[in-house]
Structure 1
Amino acid sequence: MTTLESLRQALPEYAKDIRLNFGSLLGPEGLPELSAAQKWGSAIAAAVAARHHALTAAVEAEASTHVDAATAEAARTAAALMAMTNVYYRAVHMADDADLSRLPPGLRMNALAKHGIAQNDFELFGLAASVVKGCEGCTRAHIDGARKHGVATPAVQAVIKLAAVIHAAATVLDAAPAAAA
């Protein structure tokens, strides 16, 4: 049994739906709308964004059997950039200040263009992290970017579902030890 499967099985009974969704989405037949690179890169980005060390390590270990190192690194890059940009753009949006929104961010984001993989895949990885982090503007921007680069709506939905389930699994895994105590 893989570490990822062990974590899935560790989800408590109250999270049965999460456990079942996790298995069906990340199983061999799950998410046929996505290529292996899109599926596993999005899973890595979502896991990094969800900030659960054991889940991230398990997703990355399983992903390494399906994707190359460049894809995994691009997924981590997308998650790292979204950790910064999701906070920045969400704050600017919440401020609802026209002057503030017109200012350039002034943050280094070169990896948005220099990540070494297909742009459509990188947009999906950014989408996965942005969904987990809850940034409306970044979620919209990555959906628009994915569509601009030829990604169909069912593939966009698949990444959103995957990000939601990975986030839920991380949340439950964090809470499970506390619930048992």
Structure 2
Amino acid sequence: MSAVTETIQELLAIVGQEADYRNASLTLLENGNSRYVRDLKLNFTSTLTSAHLSEKECALLALSIAVNNNNTILTNFFEKQALAKEASAEDVAEAAGCASLLALNNVFYRFRHFTGKEKYTQIPARVRMQLMSSPVTGKEFFELMSIAVSAVNGCEMCVNAHENSILALGASEERIFDAVRIASIVTSAGKVIY
């Protein structure tokens, strides 16, 4: 067995998949004996730790990104991780709800930003966002999930607004950085584990 195949199997075991599971992306990496597989595994395992976020927060952030990216394997994995780190069912639901709400906001506010027309900022949005008003995970952490999803979805206006909110709530830039780092790693892993 090649080192690449062994690393793929180790990565699959981490996320609860059978050793022989393959999809088109994993097959390409395996057939090409890609050195990247080792980096992918090391990056992925690093999503579970942070000097600035608790393990529970890391898992919930990763869950929100997996839901945002519509990745069933990673959603199931990070849900289990979050629950194992003492997240409640309500915390888990909020991570999923945040992904959905921010997808809505990211499309809407990107549109407003891209057009740059004052008229569109004057028309009421007519969308409900009650989840943001009193989140069960706390305002600061909900904003961290929000900035992570917004970064993945490419909404500059949303990223800036959430960063300002997070800093105003007293959080450090290191917490913001780690939230976005986790989002990028989960997104990366989801390109080959799906």
Residues 80-159 of structure 1: matches in 2 within 5 Å? 80-159=100-179
Question: Considering only aligned residues, what root-mean-square deviation do their CA atoms show, in Å?
Answer: 2.3
Matched, 1:165 2:185: yes
Higher relative contact order (CA 8 A, sep 6+): 1
**How far, CA to CA, are the matches of 2:136 and 2:43 in structure 1?**
31
Change (3 A) 1:4 1:110: farther
Rounded to whole Å, the distance in 2 between the matches of 1:170 and 1:76 is 16
TM, length-normalised to structure 1: 0.84
Question: Contact 1:31–1:39 at 8 Å: present in 2 too?
Answer: yes
Alpha-carbon distance change, 120 to 37 in structure 1, aligned in 2, over 3 angstroms: farther
> CA deviation digits over 1:47-106, x for unaligned, max 9?
111111111111111211012222212211211101111111111111121211232311
Taking a change above 3 Å as real, the CA distance of residues 25 and 93 of structure 1, as seen in their structure-2 partners, is same
- Match of 2:50, SS state, is coil
Residues 43, 166 of structure 1: 8 Å contact kept: yes
Higher share of residues assigned helix: 1
Aligned residues of 2:15 and 2:73 also touching (Cα < 8 A):
no
Task: Specify every segment of 5 or more residues in structure 1 that has no aligned partner in the other structure, as ranges.
Answer: 175-181
Q: Would the aligned equivalents of 1:124 and 1:156 in 2 still touch at CA under 8 Å?
A: yes
TM score, norm. by length of structure 2: 0.79
Alignment deviations for residues 110-144 of structure 1 (CA, whole Å, 9 cap, x no partner): 11113223111111111121122111111112111
Which of 35, 42, 50 pairs up with 2:54? Answer: 35
Gapped runs of 5+ residues in structure 2?
1-9
Partner of 1:24: 46
Residue 70 of structure 1 aligns to which amino acid in structure 2? E
CA contact (8 A) 2:69 2:187 kept: yes
The question of whether the paired residues in 1 share the 8 Å contact of 2:15 and 2:74 is answered with: no
Give distance in 2, aligned partners of 1:118 and 1:35.
14
In structure 1, distance between residues paired with 2:60 and 2:123: 32
Query: What are the within-5 Å matches in structure 2 for residues 42-81 of structure 1?
Result: 42-66=61-85, 67-81=87-101
For residues 156 and 4 of structure 1, what CA distance do their matches in structure 2 show? 30
User: Cα–Cα, structure 1 residues 7 and 15, in superposed 2: closer, same or farther, change >3 Å?
Assistant: farther
**Post-superposition shift, 1:4?**
6.9
Aligned to 1:5: 14
- Percent identity between matched residues is 27
Higher gyration radius (CA): 2
